[in-house]
Structure 1
């Protein structure tokens, strides 16, 4: 489930494609914290014009993924480990809400997508490299947020999860195997598919708590 493949085949506007492509490069630390973002270089590299790229950069600044300085340019923001507690505090409130609402969503297309991803998780090869496992984790979270059916909740959670993922990527080499963390999604997705709203909410809260504990253990 490659992030870039999904974006390229989505039929989105160029500005939206540029935003999502840059966003995912920033959260996976393909663009390192503190690195400058040169518009001309990025436009040539990504195949987007400068106008959609500038629109993307404006949105990314709102997401706290880039920062612009007058006469200096635009840079990827530094990953601030001290923000972990604040990010987790809000996720502990919103992730269970999203999981609960996703469990109550009976739309056939939503359920079909959830079932497909759940089946993929159960067959997930633990031998995959960490980058692929990280991308899978991000996409599962985004699917649950979409399934919640509340655009404002989804947007808020995507932004928080993006910041949490950057922290995770920063300490990834110091973490033990992350397969167990990814596998927690199996039970969560099953609870959502079973319509177990309270069970899904509980598992979502535990998942956020386990993430924070895993990161703190290596700091």
Structure 2
């Protein structure tokens, strides 16, 4: 599973240290590798990630904007809690924007991007029915969504959807042990990616909506 990265392909070496630190911390928070409520120590994180304290501090400021960390005067900075009451609000926004991103990707993706979408679809289709670590599967989910957002060719839409998908993924990760099967949620992406690659905007839009709706239903079923 580790051969398939959590993030869409990116030239990490070309990123600024602050951007690289931000992306690494963001994904650790999303996957609950930094647990909700855990203290955020910039010095410790800088040592763990191999960055200076300044870029880590800059990353933490951005993570506050993403609602992934929160700072309290005289108390410090902490990973935000996962609030299940936000599920309806987050899903409402995603049900509007995810179909838009899928529709745009179907009509605007480059030939190279369409091939990348098909390659990812093929990898997911061949995951097989064998056991797989649920958190590894969720990394597939992050990768697919971010790839579609990038293919939509609208950076503002991409930024907004990444933020809400991050919040949704934290909720999902908190209930992973209670959800009967994560693999079905992941394999739903195959037809979606194929529709986008084929340029079928209407089918892609509908499949994106169904995917977001099924996510909310799955989480609610175990709450």
TM-score by length of 2: 0.94
Does the alignment pair 1:136 with 2:131? no
2:159 corresponds to which of 155, 160, 184: 155
Q: Is the 8 A contact 1:102 1:149 kept in 2?
A: yes
Partner Cα distance (1:98, 1:216) in 2: 25
Partner of 1:191: 195
SS in 2 for 1:30: coil
Does the alignment pair 1:78 with 2:76? no
Structure 1 residue 7 displacement after superposition:
6.3
SS in 1 for 2:108: coil
Q: Is the 8 A contact 1:36 1:73 kept in 2?
A: yes
1:107 corresponds to which of 104, 110, 133: 110
RMSD, aligned α-carbons: 1.5
Q: Is the 8 A contact 1:2 1:132 kept in 2?
A: no
Unaligned runs of 5+ in 1: none
Does the alignment pair 1:172 with 2:210? no
Structure 1 residue 47 displacement after superposition:
0.5
SS in 2 for 1:3: coil
1:21 corresponds to which of 21, 24, 45: 24
Structure 1 residue 11 displacement after superposition:
2.6
Partner Cα distance (1:96, 1:75) in 2: 33
Does the alignment pair 1:201 with 2:222? no
SS in 2 for 1:174: coil
1:50 corresponds to which of 50, 53, 61: 53
Q: Is the 8 A contact 1:7 1:21 kept in 2?
A: no
How many residues were matched structurally?
A: 219
Structure 1 residue 124 displacement after superposition:
1.6
Does the alignment pair 1:30 with 2:40? no
1:62 corresponds to which of 37, 60, 65: 65
Moved more, 20-29 or 106-115: 106-115
SS in 2 for 1:125: coil
Partner Cα distance (1:119, 1:13) in 2: 32
Unaligned runs of 5+ in 2: none
TM-score by length of 1: 0.96
Superposed CA deviations along residues 126-148 of structure 1, whole A, max 9, x for unmatched, are 42211110100110000000000
Partner Cα distance (2:204, 2:136) in 1: 25
